[in-house]
């Protein structure tokens, strides 16, 4: 008999007791008052209804069953939040209860067992790590100290575009290089000599994080990852990444290393580790996990946002012209847009908000309840997985007129701020688990976008029209444009 037969036989033997347990628990759950949701199949529940574009599938189901919906994903009870009103009710009244994070198989490995900020559940260590991130790593003073880094890298990007303007520019690739370089210099104080190799390594790591594991829905089947290649891939790429981060830490600790003018993030973590008065003792795993966390959260998302924004602008040339007119009027005569000019670019900020509303970099955000609670009369037990559909919230027709239309003017007389507090759009998350890197990301995005529009006029490559532009989304941890965005750039007369 084939090897596959024995694997399936073993799978059947292993899962049969759990199947009976699952059916017993489901019977008990049905006696509770829980949110509405679609009917379930035996064993897999509603997994078959999630599909290849989960945020779209969940939005369609929520249109039928309501903005607070129950799904059984494998053996994991799950609720889905799909409207601003439900999000407001939950995170104003039950924020603490909904502040947990599910233990996902790949994330646990790549966070050194849950020693970072993004993937750790709510506990004392997470609270202290987040406090370190907000007050030390990503505070206003620290973000401002990277002003020169952002300026230099944006300038290098635009000079590369100017030299290459005879050919279409791959903005998907170029903006990722920009984000990687800025974040690398912020974390390590330098760019890597083998930047292409490191970028490819991080692409593989982010790809692994974006793929769900069978263990995320059937915890007892974790052993299958030994046979499907997932464990081998995780060990390979995590091992390579661990060596790089470890070497960087050793270089920072070298006694002959000259003291930098400004601390990078590794410097800050090492300083806190030596502080005997610190609330928690940072281990070597923390010092390696937190930079990886910041890199993953800050590079892919920034690149994706810039690409979606430029794609929307190329499809809406009147909006692009309006943004360029504003920038060129305010910055007129200077070589590049400087950060101190960004507060004056009101329409540019509206363009960025509209792009983030329509294309949030993480369309689905996972949480987990840490206690039993009641929401809207429904019983939500502890350890229930929670999915916040950020995309659905930002396109809720109850709060947005013509929600799928790209129209930055809707923000010109609006009090909605990317930094909150509001629930009509939450591209950086919501509540106490909102993204602590928002203050790092916004200056990067605004500066890069402003200079792309100030220094160049943009068109589609010859022979293409806006109708030909593919706006399909790619499945992954970050919502990228599926096909690279390639545009023709002409240096502007400024």
Which residue, 176, 143, 144, 139, is CA-closest to 157?
176
Residue-wise DSSP of 275-337: -TTSSS---HHHHHHHHHHHHHHHHHHHHHHHHHHHHHHHH-HHHHHHHHHHHHHHHTTSSS-
Strand bridging mode 76-81 / 385-389: parallel
Beta carbons of 291 and 433 less than 8 angstroms apart: no
Q: How far apart are CA 461 and CA 315, in angstroms?
A: 13
Coil, strand or helix: which one is 49? helix
Q: How far apart are CA 412 and CA 439, in angstroms?
A: 21
CB environment 414-441: b (16+ within 10 A), e (fewer) = eeeebeeebbbbbbbbbbebbbbbebbb
DSSP, res 134:
I
Binding-site sequence positions: 435
Which residue, 288, 269, 250, is CA-closest to 112?
288
Q: How far apart are CA 385 and CA 380, in angstroms?
A: 10
Q: How far apart are CA 364 and CA 65, in angstroms?
A: 18
Q: How far apart are CA 321 and CA 188, in angstroms?
A: 38
Binding-site sequence positions for heme: 435
Element (H, E) at 31: none
Phi-psi region of 43 (alpha: psi -120 to 50; beta: other; left: phi over 0): left
Positions of E strands within 430-485:
456-459
Coil, strand or helix: which one is 79? strand
CB environment 5-44: b (16+ within 10 A), e (fewer) = eeeeeeeeeebeeeeeebeeeeeeeeeeebbebeebeeee
Beta carbons of 78 and 385 less than 8 angstroms apart: yes
The neighbouring-strand residues paired with 129 are none
Q: How far apart are CA 200 and CA 351, in angstroms?
A: 30
Q: Which phi and psi (to 5°) does residue 488 adopt?
A: -90, 130
Q: How far apart are CA 474 and CA 308, in angstroms?
A: 12
CA distances from 277 to 128, 273, 282 (A): 13, 10, 12
């Amino acid at each position: 008999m084939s090897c596959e037969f024995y694997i399936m036989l073993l799978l059947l033997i292993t899962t049969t007791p759990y199947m009976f347990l699952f059916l017993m628990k489901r019977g008990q759950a049905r006696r509770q008052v829980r949110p509405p949701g679609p009917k379930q199949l035996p064993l897999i529940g509603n997994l078959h209804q999630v599909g290849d574009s989960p945020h779209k599938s969940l939005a369609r189901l929520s249109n039928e069953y309501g903005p607070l919906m129950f799904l059984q994903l494998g053996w994991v009870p799950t609720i889905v939040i799909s409207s601003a009103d439900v999000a407001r009710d939950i995170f104003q009244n039950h924020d603490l209860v909904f502040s947990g994070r599910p233990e996902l198989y790949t994330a646990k490995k790549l966070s050194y067992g849950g020693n970072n900020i993004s993937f750790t559940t709510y506990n004392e260590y997470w609270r202290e790590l987040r406090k370190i991130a907000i007050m030390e790593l990503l505070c206003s003073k620290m973000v401002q100290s990277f002003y020169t880094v952002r300026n230099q890298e944006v300038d290098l990007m635009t000079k590369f575009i100017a030299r290459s303007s005879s050919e279409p520019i791959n903005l998907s690739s170029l903006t990722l290089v920009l984000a990687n370089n800025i974040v690398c210099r912020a974390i390590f104080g330098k760019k890597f000599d083998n930047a292409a190799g490191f970028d490819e390594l991080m692409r593989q790591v982010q790809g692994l994080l974006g793929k769900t594991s069978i263990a995320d829905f059937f915890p007892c089947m974790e052993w299958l990852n030994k046979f499907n290649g997932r464990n081998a891939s995780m060990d390979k790429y995590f091992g390579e990444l661990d060596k790089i981060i470890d070497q960087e830490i050793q270089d920072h600790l070298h006694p002959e290393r000259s003291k930098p003018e400004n601390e990078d993030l590794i410097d800050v973590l090492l300083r806190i580790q030596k502080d005997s008065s610190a609330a928690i003792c940072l281990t070597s795993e923390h010092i390696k996990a937190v930079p990886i966390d910041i890199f993953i959260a800050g590079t892919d998302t920034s690149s994706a946002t810039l690409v979606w924004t430029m794609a929307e602008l190329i499809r809406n040339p009147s909006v692009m012209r309006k943004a360029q007119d504003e920038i060129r009027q305010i910055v007129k005569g200077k070589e590049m847009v400087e950060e101190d000019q960004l507060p004056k670019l009101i329409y540019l900020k509206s363009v960025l908000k509209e792009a983030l509303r329509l294309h949030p970099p993480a369309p689905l955000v996972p949480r987990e309840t840490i206690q039993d609670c009641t929401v809207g009369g429904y019983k939500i037990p502890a350890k229930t997985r929670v999915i916040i559909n950020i995309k659905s919230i930002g396109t809720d027709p109850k709060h947005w007129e013509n929600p799928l239309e790209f129209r930055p003017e809707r923000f010109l007389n609006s009090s909605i701020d990317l930094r909150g507090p509001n629930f009509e759009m939450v591209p950086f998350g919501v509540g106490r688990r909102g993204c602590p890197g928002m203050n790092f990301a916004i200056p990067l995005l605004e500066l890069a976008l402003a200079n792309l529009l100030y220094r160049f006029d943009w068109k589609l490559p010859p022979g293409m029209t806006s109708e030909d532009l593919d706006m399909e989304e790619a499945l992954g941890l970050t919502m990228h444009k599926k096909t690279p965005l390639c545009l023709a750039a002409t240096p502007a007369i400024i």
